[in-house]
Each structure stands twice: as C-alpha cells, then as structure tokens.
Amino acid sequence: MRTPFVVGNWKLHKTIAESLALVTELKNQLGALREVAVGVAPPFTALNAVAKRLEDSSIVVSAQDCYWEEKGAFTGEVAPGMLRDAGCTWAIIGHSERRQFFGETDETVGKKVKAALAAGLGAIACVGETLAQRDGGTTFQVVEQHLRGVFADVGAPDAALLERIVIAYEPVWAIGTGRTATPAQAQEVHAFIRGWLTENVSAAASAAIRIQYGGSVKPDNAVALMREPDIDGALVGGASLQAADFVAICRAAKPA
C-alpha cells in the first residue's frame, strides 16, 4: 500500500521566524498522525532552520526546486547535495510556476529529477495542463509529455528508488484560483498517469509511485479528493500557510 504524502508548498512566503513558528505548530499538532507522510517546502532561506527544528519529528523538508549540477559557475543555483546538507530530503521539480515564469522545460525537469535522485533526494515532479489545453482536449497529451520529461533520465528505478519518486498532478487552472478539479476530474488524470507508468516504466512503478493532487486543495474539499483510489496525497499551496488548514488536510489524507 502507498502511504499518502501531503506536502505544503510555501512558494515565496515566510521569513525564518515565521517558518519556525509554523513548523513548530505542525510538529505539535501532527505528532500523532502515523498513517500519512507530511512534508513542508519552505523558501531556500528557511530550509536549514526548519530542518533543524524538525529533527525530532517525522515531518520531512523539501526544497521548491534544485539545479542539476553539483557545483560550478552557476550563479544563483542550488545543488541537490547542498539541499541534503541543509537537511532537505525532497525537492519539488517542474512546478508550473517554474515552467511559466522561469523557463523550466521538460528537458530541464528530466535533468533535475535525475540529479535529485542521484544525490539521495526524493523528487516531487509536477505535471498538468493549462485551461486552454484542457478546453482544447489535449490534457492527456500534455500530461504524457510532462511524464516523458520526468522519466527521460531515470532509467529503470528499483524498489527503493520508487519510494523517492512522487508525481504531483496539478492542473494549472486550479492553482491558486480557488477552482479545484472535481474528485472525478482529478481521478481520471491520476488513473491515466498510473496507466502510463505501467506501460512506460513498470508495473512495480505504477503500484508504488505516489501521485499527489495539487490545485486549490482546502480542508473542505480534501476528504473527497483523497478518497479517490489513485490520489495518494496532496501538494498544497495557499492552504499550507496556516497550521489549522494544513493540519486538517493532512488528517483528511488518512486512509479510511
């Protein structure tokens, strides 16, 4: 069985002090939640402080991006090994905001996923269509193209590696808009992703890889989304900035 995984993507929010206040609350409130894996993705500047604060907790720390080289003349970039050093165990890769505003492509996503896994990080790789693509009937093609990028350089993952690969299905039209995919809409794409994994990676990958849903997940829609058979947790933006909402979403991911 796949352990549901809920990650809070804080985006460009929170100072170090604000980050510590939030994770301290999360630690206190989620300490007893055993059946759900929980992570937070603070901005780079707060990663190390947050990781230290969470040392005695099961909440994991993720970066929001990483570079694909380990060192060199790449001003402004952060290497996977540096993220490990800062206490991170995961990195979000290929978020739609990076694709939209920062030139992320399927090719760079593939390189980043490979580099993150090689450094021992887990990779949360994001896929998902825009509203125009959904309306144009190309959702599955777009998601398939994103998946090909994610897995381009991964090779044949062994069982241990599968634990460290997560796909986040995030329809761009649902991110930060308050307009969430219905559970049926999300499940349809999640099932497509699982089928793609069976055909293009392996049956073991399809069974083990967790597929998160992301896009306006809130306490009041989380239970219905998490009930779908192929939804294995959530990547949460706005609602992860307040402890009460994020805690409620984490609890909603608990298997029935």
Given the rule CB under 6 A, which residues bind ligand PGA? 9, 170, 175-176, 214-217, 235-239
Q: Which residue of the set 104, 146, 170, 190 is catalytic? A: 170
User: Which residue among the candidates 95, 97, 146, 190 is catalytic per the annotation?
Assistant: 95
Which CB, 233 or 238, lies closer to ligand PGA? 238
Q: Which residue's CB is nearer to ligand PGA, number 8 or number 149?
A: 8
Residue 21 CA, distance from chain mean position: 22
Question: For ligand PGA, which residue has the nearest CB?
Answer: 237
Is 95 assigned a catalytic role? yes
Partnered with residue 255 across adjacent β-strands are none
Angle at which helices 16-30 and 44-53 cross, to 10°: 40
Q: How far is the CB of 40 from ligand PGA (least distance, A)?
A: 12
Outline where 54-182 has alpha helix (H): 80-86, 96-101, 106-118, 131-135, 139-151, 159-162
Q: Coil, strand or helix: which one is 78?
A: coil
**Which element (helix H / strand E) includes 251?**
helix 243-252
Residue 129 known to be catalytic: no
Nearer to ligand PGA, 72 or 103 (CB): 103
For the record, the structure tokens of 133 come out as: 């693509």
- If the CB atoms of residues 201 and 252 are measured against ligand PGA, the closer one turns out to be 252
Q: What is the CA radius of gyration of the chain?
A: 17
Q: At 62, is the secondary structure helix, strand, or coil?
A: strand
Closest distance between ligand PGA and the C-beta of residue 152, in Å? Answer: 22
Residues recognised as catalytic? 95, 170
